[in-house]
Structure 1
Amino acid sequence: MTGFEDLIATISDFFWTYVLSVLLIVTGLVYTFRLKFFQFRMFGHIISKTIGQVFKKNKHKGTITPFQAFTSALASTAGATNIVGVPVAISLGGPGALFWMWMVALIGMATRYSEIVLGMKYREKNEEGEWVGGPQYYIRKALGWKTIAILFAVFLMLEAIPSVMVQSNSIATQLQGAFNWPVQATGIGVLLVIGIIIIGGIKRIANVTDKLVPFMVLAYLTLALIVIIANADQLGTVFSLIFTHAFTPISATGGFAGAAIAQAIRWGIARGLYSNEAGLGTGPIAHAPAQTDHPSKQAFWGVFSVFIDTIIICTVSGILVLITGAWTKVESANASSMITVAFSDFYGTTFGGIFVAIFLLFFVITTIGILIFFGEKQAEFLSGLTAAKSMRIVYLVAIYIGAIGGLQFVWQFLDLMLAFVVIFNVIPMLFLSKEVKAITDDYVYRFYKKNGGEPSVTLFTDKE
């Protein structure tokens, strides 16, 4: 099995290093230029129309509020990815990886915005009267590429299985280490909680995420910033490491094995893309049920989510492991424990380990809930609501199997399936930039410049 796993890992590494990184960067740059760097020149406006109106009521068509759609999407990116992904990038690519993570996030904002615009335009109502959408819909309806739409749905539906398993295993092992809880008990507990949540559909998932996600993000940032502020005298050195080794190699030090420039770029880009999911196609699925009267209004939340996830949370995580020296104390094989080490050195071993375990528990619950929703929507697109309900059972079983560490060979396919999901989303996106630009221009003319009037383009393809 080792030889087979090595082959899968080699293929995955090839795709992420030489295909996806280039494809995602090109897509981000195409939309950044096509939309005239709107994520920078309109950033203040975007903030005012998202977090600045979080409590504003609206009666537009949709199933959940814009903020609930945002927290649902954020649930699949924030949390374990920020705790594990950033230290892994630094351990393999050095401090310079954080710089490249920032760069890919800045152009990824345009990609995330654009795929949500398309998702909103081509959404439709399902048999239960809920709004659904995503790449599978705009690929089929806008381009007529039915085969590609089906392949996207199949790969994302299957990819959710190892994703769920990896998430449940991460929390099971963390709780076992922090509280000596049996992994079987964690598996059953998480399965039951998730089952109760997802049986209520996107409305119940959204009701959970809009309360848990903001609280956990703020709690994590607060405790991390306290550590950073306490070591503020080292900030100059930290930023010097980041900017210097984004363009120059770094030698081994402590438990860190050293890294070349190519490694910094490779791991910074890969982990940045993995962290905020810009181009993966999950954002449009989460945002499709939102109440809105213009695709751009909801898509602004996508820009904000990339900013929060990568520019804020990932940056804080990166600075935390650098400023405390955790990146030199932990070898790359155990890089996922760097945040725990950083907190434990400051707050004490007991509190540090317990906090990270609790933080991961809540985030894993929300992440698994939205992952299952993503998978169900693909099954629904392919074969209807009955198939979606059947896949729900598969995902619930995967929670327990993952918690006890079973079928680990399935996990090896995670990055590879993610690669195909990205390919089947961003290539069609490159053919739809004209539509995104037209909708964006309509918003800028009518709302940003406040000229008013009727829409100059078709904003939604389904009125009911």
Structure 2
Amino acid sequence: MTKIFNMIYEILWGPILIPLLLGTGIYYTFNLRFIQVRKIGAAFKQVFGGMFNKKEKADKDGMSSFQALATAVAAQVGTGNLAGVATAIVSGGPGAIFWMWVSALLGMATNFGEAILGQIYKERVGDEITGGPAYYIRKGINSKFLAGFFAISIIIALGFIGNMVQSNSIAEVVKNAINVKPIFVGIITAILAGIILIGGISRIASFTEKVVPIMALVYILGSLGILIINIDKVIPAFKMIFVGAFNPKAVGGGALGITVMQAARYGIARGLFSNEAGMGSTPHAHAVAKVKHPAEQGLAALVGVTIDTVIICTITALVILTSGTLDSGLTGSALTQNAFKLGFGNIGVYFIAISLFFFAFSTIIGWYFFGEANIKYLFGEKGIMPYRLLVLAFLVVGSVLEVKVVWQLADIFNGLMVFPNLIALLLLSYKVKDVLKDYENKYLRKLDSVYLNKED
């Protein structure tokens, strides 16, 4: 089974999905006239200008723009920011980080489009507003089959299998830190998650808007502490990244057989896995944002990719490259943990353990929310409670499983859900362009905007 799953994974995430995701990012970048460059300043001003606005509460009409972004970032910032970056560097050399930046730059344009489509095609199911790719696939390109295929794929990939892996990551890191049996960690994780999930959209929004900014800030400050200790090695680390992107042999990659193609492949793949741009996950959060114009949430989506890949993945890479741990033979989260240990001693080990816990736990909440939107699409409100109980059961089971095969299966379903989402993104790109044109030509000038939500 491992060999079969690995073969399917290599085909999906090798010559098929990476070019499709990159191609979509390139298309959106040019079609929207480099929106991720032109509007990044305005995006940060919009997001953090309203960060402490307490007037907006999550309710049946959705979340505030910042809460929706926090929920999206909760899913984007996960174990991949620690383990995935380390794996990319080991497999593709330091140059992989450059290609990770390329994937982030292009992915920002794709994510902008996803957020806008989520806003345009959101709808009310029962008492609550919901949305996501299944909704814009069905209503936008009129394909019930592709919408259903996407919904089933993401429920399996993230809601069930993906959350098993996150639970396993938490159990492993807690066991290594304080030697608690995984089954107990799984039960506690399920109880904590259940307390949040049972409160619905309002409690999920309240959790993400409080925990995610603190979680990200603490990790960034800890990483900057390591970089200050190794300040003399920061410039050489950047040199390794830029040189390694085009000439891996010059930074020691030749001895490992690393080529430019490998550096690009691993960097782009890990970048896309980390920020999830084009994969159809984060639009579920952006769809329920209470904004006056859909383009406002598109701008918020630009910030999400920036925080995840450009900031957090980059500082993780710099910590690894400046610590001298690259030749240790370690990979994944163990490599990142060793880099922090060299900088902070045993405190570094616990720092990464705590960071991994919050990264993985916040991802569980985000992925649950994405799956719930698709449960609503398939079964309506009556499917929510059975889904919620199943997710909690999977968290307990996942804590005690050997997850290599499970990871591969999650990656396969992750890949399958990309196809219908990309088809919709390409076919509905004209809608995204129209929304952006309306925003720039009418809304910002306070004219009669077509997409202005008068109810807000």
- Shorter-chain TM range is over 0.9
Code of the residue aligned with 2:218 in structure 1: it is: A
CA deviation map 1:392-415 (0-9, x unaligned): 221111101111125763332111
Aligned to 1:264: 263
Equivalence for 2:395: 399
Amino acid at match of 1:347: F
* Structure-2 residue corresponding to 1:183: 182
Structure-to-structure mapping, 1:192-211, within 5 angstroms: 192-211=191-210
1:451 is displaced (CA, Å) by: 2.3
Corresponding residue of 1:139: 137
Partner residue in 1 for 2:5: 8
* Aligned counterpart, 2:280: 281
| 1:452 CA drift (Å) | 1.7
User: Do the aligned residues in 2 keep the contact of 1:58 with 1:291 (CA within 8 Å)?
Assistant: no
Once the two structures are superposed, what CA deviation does each residue of 1:234-272 show, in whole Å capped at 9, x if it has no partner?
122111111111112338969x94522111111000000
Match of residue 357 from structure 1: 353
Q: Does 1:22 align with 2:19?
A: yes
CA distance in 2: counterparts of 1:410 and 1:228, whole angstroms: 35
Partner of 1:149: 147
Corresponding position of 1:314: 313
Paired position in structure 2 for 1:421:
417
Q: Distance in 1 between the 2:387 and 2:185 partners?
A: 22
Counterparts in 2 of 1:342 and 1:407: CA distance versus 1, 3 Å: closer
Task: Name the SS for the 1:50 alignment partner.
Answer: helix
Query: Alignment partner for residue 157 of structure 2, among 147, 156, 159?
Result: 159
Letter in 1 for 2:33: K
1:120 aligns with 2:119: yes
* Structure-1 separation of matches of 2:252 and 2:356: 29
Quote the Cα distance in structure 1 between the aligned partners of 2:249 and 2:194: 47
- The CA distance in 2 between the partners of 1:235 and 1:361, in whole Å, is 28
Q: Deviations over 1:305-356 (max 9, x none)?
A: 001110000000011101102222133xx4321111011111112x112111
Identity of aligned residues (%): 39
Question: Unaligned regions of 5+ residues in structure 2, if any?
Answer: none
Q: Is the 8 A contact 2:121 2:139 kept in 1?
A: yes
CA RMSD in angstroms comes to 2.0
After superposition, what is the alpha-carbon deviation per residue over 1:94-146, rounded to whole angstroms, capped at 9, x for unaligned?
0000000001101111100101000001101111x211000000111111011
User: Structure 1's 57 and 439: CA in aligned 2 closer, same or farther, altered over 3 A?
Assistant: farther
Letter in 1 for 2:145: T
Aligned to 2:30: 33
1:389 aligns with 2:394: no
Alpha carbons of 1:9 and 1:382: their partners in 2 closer, same or farther (altered >3 Å)?
Answer: same
Counterpart residue identity of residue 84, structure 2: G
Q: Is the 8 A contact 2:293 2:451 kept in 1?
A: no
Q: Which moved more, 1:51-60 or 1:360-369?
A: 51-60
Q: SS of the residue aligned with 2:52?
A: coil
Structure 1 unmatched runs, 5+: none
1:366-385 equivalent positions in 2, closer than 5 A: 366-385=362-381
Q: Which amino acid aligns with 1:296?
A: A
Moved more, 361-370 or 225-234: 361-370
CA deviation after TM superposition for structure 1 residue 58, in Å:
6.2
CA displacement at 1:360 relative to structure 2: 1.6
* Per-residue deviation, residues 26-54 of structure 1 (Å, max 9, x unmatched): 11111111111121112212221111232
Structure 2: which amino acid aligns with 1:140? Answer: R
Matched position secondary structure for 2:45: helix
**Letter of the aligned partner of 1:43 in structure 2?**
I
Q: Distance in 2 between matches of 1:237 and 1:359?
A: 27
Query: Structure 1 residues 262 and 407, CA, compared in 2 at 3 Å: closer, same or farther?
Result: closer
> Across the two proteins, how many residue pairs are aligned to each other?
452
TM-score by length of 2: 0.95
Q: Distance in 1 between matches of 2:72 and 2:425?
A: 19
- Does the Cα contact within 8 Å between 1:228 and 1:323 map onto a contact in 2? yes
Match of 2:448 in 1: 454
Separation in 2 of the partners of 1:253 and 1:217? 32
Q: What SS class does the counterpart of residue 125 from structure 1 fall into?
A: strand
Distance 1:264 1:25 in 2: 15
Mean Cα deviation higher: 383-392 or 224-233: 383-392
